[in-house]
Structure 1
Amino acid sequence: MTIDISEIPDAPKRRTIDFYTVLLFLVAPLWCAVPLAWGFVIYALHTGKVWSYSLPWLTLFSVSLFEMIFSIYYHHLSKQLSGPPKNGHGNTTEIQLAFHRILKVGLASLPPDGDDEEVDRPGSPNEAIVQLEPDDPRAIEFRNTLRTWFRREPWSTVRLHQVRQWIYWAIFNKDLPAPETLPQAHKVVLDESLDLLQKRLGKPIPEGSNSSVKPILLNLDKPNILWRPLTFYVLTAIGNLCLDLWYQKSHNFRRGSLDGLEYLVRIPKKWRSSDRHPRPILFFHGLGLGLVQYHNFLSRLVRDFSDRPLLIILQPHVSQDIFHPKYLAPTPRKQTTAALARLLVSFGWADLEPAVSGCSTEDEQKGAIYAPKRRLSGVTALSHSNGSYAHAWMLKDYPHMLSRSCFVDPVTFCCWEGDVCRNFFYKTCTTGFELMVRYFVSTELGVVNLLQKNFDWSSNSLWFEEIPNARDPSKALFLFGDKDSIVATNRVKLYLRSHGIRKGLWSDPQGHHGEALLAGGDGCRLVYDWLREREL
Structure 2
Amino acid sequence: MIVGPSYAEYLLAGTAMILFTYLGPLCVAYFLLLLSIAGIPGISHPISIAIEVLGALEILFYFVWFLPYRAYLQRRRPLSGPLARDMRRRLFYRQLGHVADMETYLSKWHHGAQFSDIRRDNLQSWLLWALFERDGDPGEDAAEVDEYIEAIERKCGFRFQTGSGVAVPLRLAFDPVQMRHRSLLFYMMVGFLDTVTATILRLRGFKFYRQPRGRFFTVFPPRLQTVLATSASASPQLSYYYRPPAPSPSSTSPSHRPVLFLHGVGIGLAAYLPWLLFFAPPEAAILIPEFLPVSSRICAPLPPTLDLIRSLSAILTQQDLRDAVLVAHSFGTFLLSPLLSDPDMANRVSAIVPVDPVCLLLHLPETAYNFTRSRPPSGERGAEWQLRFVGTDPGISYTFSRRLRWHEHILWGEQLLDRARGWRATVVVGGRDSIIDPAAVANERSDESDAGWLASKERWTGREELELIYLAHLDHGHTILGHDGMRVLGEVVKTYTSVESLDSVESASTAGTPQ
Find the aligned partners of 1:157 and 1:471 in 2 and give their Cα distance: 48
* Structure 1 residue 157 displacement after superposition: 3.3
Structure 2 SS opposite 1:427: coil
In structure 1, the partner of 2:229 is: none
| Partner residue in 1 for 2:102 | 142
Q: Match for 1:434: what amino acid?
A: E
Shift of 1:472: 12
CA distance in 1, matches of 2:79, 2:104: 30
Match for residue 178 of structure 2 among 224, 227, 249: 224
Secondary structure, counterpart of 2:74 in structure 1: coil
Q: What's 1:367 paired with?
A: none
Aligned counterparts of 2:121 and 2:340: Cα–Cα separation in 1:
36
Q: TM-score, normalised by structure 2?
A: 0.77
1:210 aligns with 2:203: no
Runs of at least 5 residues in structure 1 that lack an aligned partner in the other structure? 1-15, 107-137, 351-377
Kept in 1: contact 2:103–2:115 (CA 8 A) = yes
Equivalent residue, structure 1, for 2:434: 485
2:444 maps to: 495
Q: CA deviation at 1:25?
A: 3.1
Deviations 1:70-111, CA, capped at 9 Å, x for gaps: 1121121112233473432654554553223212336xxxxx
CA contact (8 A) 2:352 2:423 kept: no
Amino acid at match of 1:173: E
| Structure with the higher helix share, 1 or 2 | 2
Residue 312 of structure 2 aligns with which residue? 340
Task: State the SS of the aligned residue for 2:440.
Answer: helix
Residues 265 and 311 of structure 1 are in contact (CA less than 8 Å); yes or no, is this contact kept in structure 2?
A: yes
Match of 2:426, SS state, is: strand
Specify every segment of 5 or more residues in structure 2 that has no aligned partner in the other structure, as ranges.
1-5, 211-232, 461-466, 503-515
- Match of 2:172, SS state, is coil
**Alignment match, 1:508:** 471
Residue in 2 aligned with 1:295? Answer: 273
1:316 partner amino acid: L
- Kept in 2, the 8 Å contact 1:150–1:216? The answer is yes
1:311 aligns with 2:276: no
Q: In the alignment, what sits opposite 1:261? A: 238
What whole-Å deviation, never above 9, does each CA across 1:130-159 have from its counterpart, x for those lacking one?
Answer: xxxxxxxx6xx3344333212344434321
Amino acid across the alignment from 1:190: V
Provide the C-alpha distance between the structure 1 equivalents of 2:31 and 2:54, rounded to a whole number of angstroms: 10
Report the Cα offset of residue 254 of structure 1: 3.0
In the other structure, the counterpart of 2:219 is: none
Instruction: State the secondary structure of the residue aligned to 1:36.
Output: helix
2:80 paired with 1:88: yes
Q: Evaluate the alpha carbon distance shift between residue 494 and residue 274 of structure 1 in structure 2; reply closer, same or farther with a 3 A threshold.
A: farther
Q: What is the CA–CA distance in structure 2 between the aligned matches of 1:471 and 1:229, rounded to whole Å? A: 51
Q: Is the 8 A contact 1:483 1:510 kept in 2?
A: yes
Helix, strand or coil at the partner of 2:241: strand
Structure 1 residues 205 and 81 mapped into 2: Cα distance closer, same or farther (>3 Å)?
A: same
Instruction: Indicate if the aligned counterparts of 2:245 and 2:258 stay in contact, CA closer than 8 A.
Output: no
- Kindly report which structure 2 residues correspond to 1:379-418, keeping only aligned pairs within 5 A, or say none: 379-397=324-342, 398-418=345-365
Name 2:20's counterpart in structure 1. Answer: 30
Matched with 1:67 is 58
Deviation at 1:525, TM superposition (A): 2.3
Identify if the C-alpha distance between structure 1 residues 424 and 252 changes in structure 2 by more than 3 Å, giving closer, same or farther. closer
CA contact (8 A) 1:243 1:292 kept: yes
Measured in 2, the distance between the counterparts of 1:146 and 1:271 equals 55
User: 1:452 is paired with a residue of what secondary structure?
Assistant: helix
CA distance in 2, matches of 1:195, 1:267: 56
Contact 1:160 1:207 in 2 (8 A): yes
Identity of aligned residues (%): 21
Residue pairs, 1:359-374, within 5 angstroms: none
1:340 is paired with a residue whose SS is: helix
Q: Distance in 2 between matches of 1:287 and 1:276?
A: 32
Mapping for residues 434-445 of structure 1, pairs under 5 Å: 434-439=384-389, 441-445=390-394
Greater relative contact order structure (CA < 8 Å, 6+ sep): 1
Give the whole-Å Cα distance in 2 for the aligned partners of 1:252 and 1:160. 55
CA contact (8 A) 2:82 2:133 kept: no
Question: Amino acid of the residue matched to residue 479 of structure 2?
Answer: A
Secondary structure in 1 matching 2:209: strand
1:283 is aligned to 261
Alignment deviations for residues 196-233 of structure 1 (CA, whole Å, 9 cap, x no partner): 4334444433322211x222112222232222211111
1:306: how far off? 3.1
Match of 2:383 among 433, 441, 446: 433
**Are the aligned partners of 2:244 and 2:286 in contact in 1 as well (CA < 8 Å)?**
yes
User: Per-residue displacement from partner, 1:14-69 (whole Å, max 9, x unpaired)?
Assistant: xx978984686343343331213455689999x9969x946544443332222122
Q: Distance in 2 between matches of 1:277 and 1:189?
A: 55
Query: How many matched pairs?
Result: 447
Q: For 1:63, give the aligned amino acid.
A: L
> Is 1:459 aligned to residue 427 of structure 2?
no
Q: Is the 8 A contact 2:28 2:52 kept in 1?
A: no
Secondary structure at the counterpart of residue 261 of structure 1: coil
Matches of 1:308 and 1:17, distance apart in 2? 39
Letter in 2 for 1:463: W
Residues 377-408 of structure 1: CA deviation (Å, up to 9, x unaligned): x2101011111112332122232222100011
| 1:130 aligned residue | none
CA distance in 1, matches of 2:278, 2:93: 43
Report the counterpart of residue 370 of structure 2 in structure 1: 423
Residue type matched to 1:295 in 2? L
Letter in 2 for 1:433: A
Deviations along 1:253-286, one digit per CA (max 9) or x if unpaired, are 2324314022111113737998753111011111
Q: SS where residue 479 of structure 1 aligns?
A: strand
Residue identity in the other structure for 2:397? V
Q: Does 1:197 align with 2:190?
A: no
Which residue of 1 is the match for residue 487 of structure 2? Answer: 525
Show the 5 A alignment for 1:77-116. 77-83=69-75, 85-88=77-80, 91-93=83-85, 94-105=87-98
Check whether the contact 1:248–1:255 (CA below 8 A) recurs between aligned residues: no
The structure-2 alpha-carbon separation of the partners of 1:514 and 1:498, relative to structure 1 and needing over 3 Å to count, comes to same
SS in structure 1 opposite 2:446? helix
Alpha carbons of structure 1 residues 221 and 525: separation in structure 2 relative to 1, 3 Å: same
CA spacing shift, 1:30–1:349, aligned 2, 3 Å: closer
Equivalent residue letter for 2:341:
K
| Pairwise CA RMSD | 3.6
Counterpart of 2:120? Answer: 160
CA distance, structure 1, for counterparts of residue 474 and residue 424 of structure 2: 23
Partners of 1:37 and 1:68 within 8 A in 2:
no
Counterpart amino acid of 1:277? S
